[in-house]
Every structure is written in C-alpha cells, then in structure tokens.
DNA sequence: GTCTATAAATGGATAGAC
DNA sequence: GTCTATCCATTTATAGAC
C-alpha cells in the first residue's frame, strides 16, 4: 500500500495501547506491535521516532480525552442535574459505565495504572484523570445541588470524595484486572446503586 | 564469601521486590538485581532456578503475609474493639498506616498492582490482599459491633464496603505512585478521619 | 510507505574454574 | 557460593532497495 493517508499509523497506535494496557510498556516489543498490525518493525519506525514516541503519543491522547471530558461536563452539567433519586443514581452508574468502563478509555486507564510507577508523566495523568478531574466535577455538582436547595448545606468537596470514592472503589474491585463482562457489570452496578442510594438519603433534603 | 548461610539469597529477594515494585517484572533484568546486590548473574542462578522463580518466591511471601494478618486479626479483634469514636477512628487510620503504608508491604502491593495485568496468580493475590481479606475482616468487626449493641442493626458487609472503600480510595489517591512522606501521610490521615467520623456518627447507636 | 538486511546492545541462562 | 566466560535469543534502531 503506497497510500499516504494510510491508517497504518492509527493501527500502530491502537495496537500499542492495547498491548501496553495488558502487558505494560517494557514487556511489549516493536515486533509484537508490528506482527499484529501486519507490518515490519522498520515501518513502525517510519511512523514513529522510536518506541517511547508511541507511548508519548498515547499520553497526549489521554490529555485530550481528559480535556474533552471537562469541556463536555462544563457545558452540560447544569441542564442534566436532577433532584430525583433514580436520576441521581443513574448519573453515578453512568460515570462507571460510560466513562471508566468505556472500551477505549479503560485501556488508557490500565496503561496509566501500570506505567505511573515508572513514568512521571503517566503518574500525573493518572492522578488527573482518576482523581483530580472527577472530584472537581463532582464538587461542582454538589455545590449546585446545595445552592438550589436540593441538598443540605455541607462541604461540597467532602461529599465529592465520599461519592466518587465509592465509584472508584467499585471500579477497582471489579475491574482492576478482570475482564469487563456483562455479568461483572451487573454486580458492580448493583453494589454501587446501594451505596449511592444511602448517600442520597443522607444528604438530600 | 563461602558461607553456606549467607544472606545473599535474601538480599536478592529484597532487591528484586524493590525493583519489581518500581519498574515491573519485565523491566527488571537479572543483571540489574545482581548489580545492586553486588554479585554476578550466575550467582543469582545458583540461588534461584530462573527469573520467574524469584517472582514466584515473592508471591509466596505475599500469601504468607496475608495468612499471618488474618490469624493475628482473628486472635485479637474481640479484645481491641472499642465503642468510643476516637478509638474507632484510630483503628481505621491504623489499617492505613500500619498495613497499607508499611514500608515492606507497600512494595508487595505495588508489585501486585503492576503484575496483576500480566499474571493470573498476582491478580488473585491482589484481589485477596486488597479486597477480599480486609472486607471480610471488617464485616466481622461490624457484625460484632451490632451484636454488642454498639452499632445499629444493618448489613455488616455493606458497612464494610463503605468503610473500607474510604480507606482504599485514600490509599490509592495519595500513595498509588507517590512516595510515602510524613507530609502526605498527614493529609491522608486527616482526610480519612473526616470520612470515618461521619461513618461513625451515622451508624453507631 | 513498506520491505530486507543488518548493526549494536541487552537479556536470560549455562559450563566450568576457584 | 561466587566468579569468568560464553551462548543464544530478542530487542531497538538504522540503511538502503523497491
């Protein structure tokens, strides 16, 4: 294929993400990636400067995803906030299912989970995508809920930690290394529902 | 050194744990370990069958630690349970500081955190040491607290998930890759105190 | 844009001397 | 129990043909 707009580069990136998230950066060789994509190593070096360059490109993609999420959230959150318990639970389950367990995003998360111990930049991104950003977003939500009188006055950030803490814990417990099956999802969602329900009963007016 | 009871084997094990927990198994070479211990590769092969054998020995050590913790817990927990809020908080902080953040144990945890994605046995041990065992132990505690009338009647396992979920979340947030400094410990302990206090107020009689 | 060929380094592992 | 020497496989990376 002598196509300048070939999607080989994209395929390499995708495959690298897939393998890095399963085995970790250092256990994946350029040949491994090439074999799956169906090209020789030298082709990979045509598209990327070196192995680290592939990784850096993926880290850049994480940053973009995080920014997009924040933007989307900021533009939409006032509209979607609801007072009702069922809707409130749905939002929490949505974070788990629509974000953390998204087929693409979970690969980034797992890659960062492994590489945070080796790579400073990965550590910062992990902190950002899994703690700082969601906590800040939840803080905003709870502050708004209080301002609108739906929730009792309290420390919004504390509520955020408590609420998002549940989601993170369930996510780690059921999916830190296990496959995301429909069955596991059901168990996790049920468990999370119980926790969110209690939370809602406690803090809503 | 022609000492049959030399501690070289122990040093190799310790160094391997240290490096595996920082870089992950596949990024550590036998030569890396040898350099730090101060012996040649061949010496390492005298003490261990191969690289995987070192890892397996460490996994075995994790199992032993977990069993010991459970035994210790079962023998002692009735005596140490207290009704008072301050004592209750102290126990929770103790789990964080005395177990999860223990200099030796945190290395095992980090190693498992990385290798769970690659190694099935590591995944099981991670689940066991970080979820199943502590949740079961906490369930026992809360059941006892209820039976003694200190806590309101409720689902003990649900309380365990809620309570231990906080501890796990704080642990991951502040120490998943960061160094365990006195400062970070203070922040984490303060944050956890707030969460446990609320928990206590909610469920104690 | 992709291939073949190959350089150069590194890693796991073993044989045999001391 | 530890060392030197060595083997062989794998890996990153590059040069140059097509």
Residue predicted with more confidence, B4 or B38: B38
pLDDT in tens, A75-125: 888 777 777 899 889 989 999 999 999 999 999 999 999 999 999 999 999
How far is it, in rounded angstroms, from Cα A138 to Cα A157? 8
CB–CB contact B166 A165 (8 Å): yes
Task: Return the percentage of chain A with pLDDT > 70, whole number.
Answer: 97
With a CB cutoff of 8 Å and minimum separation 6, the contacts of B69 are B99, B133
- Domain range summary for chain B, segments of one domain joined by +: 1-48, 56-203
Per-residue confidence (pLDDT) for residue B136, from 0 to 100: 96
pLDDT in tens, B22-57: 999 999 999 999 999 999 999 999 999 999 999 999
| pLDDT(A1) > 50 | no
Q: Contacts of residue B27 in chain A, CB cutoff 8 Å?
A: 24-27, 118
How far is it, in rounded angstroms, from Cα A125 to Cα B28? 24
Smallest Cα distance from A173 to chain B, Å: 7
Q: Identify which of A26, A148, A191, A149 has the alpha carbon closest to the alpha carbon of residue B20.
A: A26
- Please give the backbone phi and psi of residue B48, each rounded to the nearest 5 degrees, phi first: -130, 145
Q: In CATH, what number does A55-203 get?
A: 1.10.357.10
Q: Model pTM? A: 0.95
CB–CB contact A177 B117 (8 Å): yes
First to last CA, chain B: 64
**Equal CATH topology for B1-48 and B56-203:** no
Per-residue confidence (pLDDT) for residue B1, from 0 to 100: 41
pLDDT in tens, B97-123: 999 999 999 999 999 999 999 999 999
Q: Identify which of B203, B189, B166, B3 has the alpha carbon closest to the alpha carbon of residue B90.
A: B189
Per-residue confidence (pLDDT) for residue A82, from 0 to 100: 77
Q: Which residue is closest to C2 in terms of CA–C1' distance?
A: A43
DSSP output for chain B: ---TT-SHHHHHHHHHHHHHHHH-GGG--HHHHHHHHTS-HHHHHHHSSSHHHHHHHHHHHHHHHHHHHHHHHHHHHHHH---SHHHHHHHHHHIIIIIIT-HHHHHHHHHHHHHTTT-HHHHHHHHIIIIIHHHHHHHHHHHHHHHTTSB-S--HHHHHHHHHHHHHHHHHHHHSSS---HHHHHHHHHHHHHHHHHHHHHHB-
Give CATH superfamily name and number for B1-48. Homeodomain-like (1.10.10.60)
| B198 close to A (CB below 8 A) | yes
CB–CB contact B168 A172 (8 Å): yes
> CATH assignment of B56-203, given 1.10.3720.10, 1.25.40.10, 1.10.357.10, 3.40.50.2300?
1.10.357.10
């Amino acid at each position: 294929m002598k196509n300048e707009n070939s999607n080989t580069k994209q395929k390499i990136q995708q495959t690298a993400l897939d393998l890095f998230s399963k085995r970790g950066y250092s256990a994946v060789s350029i040949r491994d990636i090439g074999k799956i994509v169906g090209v020789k190593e030298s082709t990979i070096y045509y598209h990327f400067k070196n192995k680290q360059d592939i990784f850096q490109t993926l880290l850049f993609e994480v940053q973009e995803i995080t920014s997009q999420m924040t933007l989307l959230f900021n533009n939409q959150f006032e509209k979607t906030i609801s007072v009702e318990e069922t809707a409130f639970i749905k939002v929490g389950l949505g974070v788990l299912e629509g974000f953390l367990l998204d087929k693409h995003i979970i690969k980034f998360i797992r890659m960062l989970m492994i590489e945070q111990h080796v790579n400073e930049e990965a550590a910062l991104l992990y902190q950002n995508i899994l703690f700082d950003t969601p906590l800040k977003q939840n803080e905003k939500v709870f502050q708004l809920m209080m301002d609108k009188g739906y929730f009792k006055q309290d420390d919004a950030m504390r509520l955020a930690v408590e609420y998002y803490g549940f989601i993170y814990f369930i996510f780690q417990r059921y999916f830190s290394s296990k496959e995301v099956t429909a069955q596991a999802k059901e168990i996790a969602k049920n468990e999370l529902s119980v926790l969110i329900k209690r939370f809602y009963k406690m803090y809503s007016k």
